[in-house]
Amino acid sequence: MSRSHTSPSPFGRHAAPDARTVNRVVGDIRHGLPVVVTPASPEQAALVVLAAEGITPQALDALGRLAGAAPRLLVTGRRAMVMGLIPPSSAPDHNSPLALLAGPEAPLDAAAIARLAAPGSEADRPGAQPDAFPWRTADKPVERAAVQVMKAARLLPAAVVAEVPSAAPAEWAAANSLLSVGADQALDYEPALARGLRQVGAARVPLKGAEETRVLAFRPADGGIEHIALVIGQPGADGQPVLTRLHSECFTGDLLGSLRCDCGDQLRGAIEAIAEAGSGVLLYLAQEGRGIGLVNKLRAYELQDMGYDTLDANEQLGFDDDERIYLPAAEILARLGISRVRLMTNNPAKLRALARHGVEVTERVPHVFEASCHARSYLHTKATRSGHLF
């Protein structure tokens, strides 16, 4: 299912304008620049937004002066929960952000923002008690979109925001040389990238033990990092469901041979098993760190060394325990003409997600490897808390 876009630019034949806009905004955010997020409804205020991660006192001052109002901090419900701001039971949607406002006893300065946005022992530090900040639930689309932009930028999911002092926010943004993006565009970014995937490369790459392998690359609509499909043999030629593995990128495990996880063994083991079966497909999905990115995964590892398990570490950072979506996988399978799979996985969420996207999973094929001593507690957590079937 691909969405067609019309573009007035002769260079824009393949471009998805919404994805391009979000991508440019993400670029500015990663540069430490503010952007404007506009609401669909003109009754709501637009926000001028900066990343909380790495914010400087100068940037915070400049934001306040630009907007003519005191900035506030948006953190996710998850982060608010681990800071003890809200009890676990009272968070209706953990992905809804919470707004923290500066109060007379607790100025929202750059140092406070760093402590509130990043996990650590903020409650131990003088002057940084999170409950000194008045807060309210922030579930307006512009507020959720501001946090979504941080996730798309692979930064900590926390944003410093102030209301745009104009009823014409896009014009105000242009007059201040800022990029702007619609809240709906930002919230639909990941699915839009998946819908706009294009195959951009295909080559025969004989692998050790799987010589009849083709490697195909699928580029998302914003020109970002490609997902890769390894097509081994002639999958589906016999009319049978295709032996399939969805593997999420793990730089540390796949490439460096990290012993903290089982990814490297699972990757090579899947290729071996598919070759042995005669044919199948492995999708190598650009979803490092269960979708939070490599840098945030390294932060999660640091937290795990402090005693948190792999799920709690994600939540300490403000993320859900798993931020992946499987629409890209379903889209690639559809492009390959595969609608029925025997899925090699221990993760029931992958079975449910593929079914939701119209892929028939005829069988789950267990995909278990011996754990190193460093990976034992990681795999134990998956089994006891994520419902993994080992």
| Active site residues per annotation | 322, 324
Of the residues 195, 227, 290, 299, which one makes contact with ligand GTP according to CB under 6 A: 290
Q: Does the footprint of ligand GTP cover residue 249 (CB under 6 A)? A: yes
Q: Does the footprint of ligand GTP cover residue 300 (CB under 6 A)? A: yes
Nearest Cα neighbor of 78 from 308, 305, 293, 325 is: 308
* Residue 13 three-state SS: coil
Q: Does the footprint of ligand GTP cover residue 154 (CB under 6 A)? A: no
Is 50 labelled as part of a ligand binding site? no
Q: Does the footprint of Zn ion cover residue 263 (CB under 5 A)? A: yes
Of the residues 36, 59, 118, 261, which one makes contact with Zn ion according to CB under 5 A: 261
Give the helix ranges, DSSP H, for the chain: 17-30, 57-67, 77-82, 110-117, 141-152, 169-175, 183-187, 189-195, 263-277, 288-291, 294-305, 310-316, 327-335, 348-356, 376-385
Single out the segment in contact with ligand GTP by CB under 6 A; choices: 28-36, 107-115, 230-238, 342-350: 342-350
Contact partners, residue 90, CB within 8 Å, separation at least 6: none
**124 vs 370 by CB, closer to Zn ion:** 370
Is 212 labelled as part of a ligand binding site? no
**192 vs 263 by CB, closer to ligand GTP:** 263
Single out the segment in contact with Zn ion by CB under 5 A; choices: 80-88, 90-98, 133-141, 252-260: 252-260
- The token pair at 297 is 């995964």
Nearest Cα neighbor of 74 from 147, 149, 176 is: 147
Q: Does the footprint of ligand GTP cover residue 112 (CB under 6 A)? A: no
Is 140 labelled as part of a ligand binding site? no
Of the residues 114, 156, 178, 292, which one makes contact with ligand GTP according to CB under 6 A: 292
- DSSP string of 58-79, one letter each residue: HHHHHHHHHHTS--EEEEEHHH
Q: Does the footprint of Zn ion cover residue 51 (CB under 5 A)? A: no
Q: Does the footprint of ligand GTP cover residue 119 (CB under 6 A)? A: no
Q: What are phi and psi of 210, to 5 degrees?
A: -145, 70
CB 322 within 8 A of CB 347: no
CB 148 within 8 A of CB 25: no
Nearest Cα neighbor of 280 from 356, 367, 196 is: 367
Q: Does the footprint of ligand GTP cover residue 316 (CB under 6 A)? A: no
**48 vs 250 by CB, closer to Zn ion:** 250
**180 vs 316 by CB, closer to ligand GTP:** 316
Is 12 labelled as part of a ligand binding site? no
Query: For residue 283, what are the β-bridge partners?
Result: 229, 246
Single out the segment in contact with ligand GTP by CB under 6 A; choices: 61-69, 125-133, 268-276, 281-289: 281-289
Of the residues 50, 263, 275, 359, which one makes contact with ligand GTP according to CB under 6 A: 263
Single out the segment in contact with ligand GTP by CB under 6 A; choices: 117-125, 169-177, 233-241, 287-295: 287-295
> Scanning residues 231 to 250, which ones bind Zn ion (CB under 5 A)?
250
Write down the least CB distance from residue 289 to Zn ion, Å.
8
Rounded Cα distance, 294 and 299, in Å: 9
Rounded Cα distance, 249 and 317, in Å: 20
CB 132 within 8 A of CB 103: yes
Q: Does the footprint of Zn ion cover residue 80 (CB under 5 A)? A: no
Q: Which residues bind ligand GTP (CB under 6 A)?
A: 247-250, 261, 263, 266, 287-290, 292, 297, 300, 310, 314, 345-347, 350, 367, 382, 388
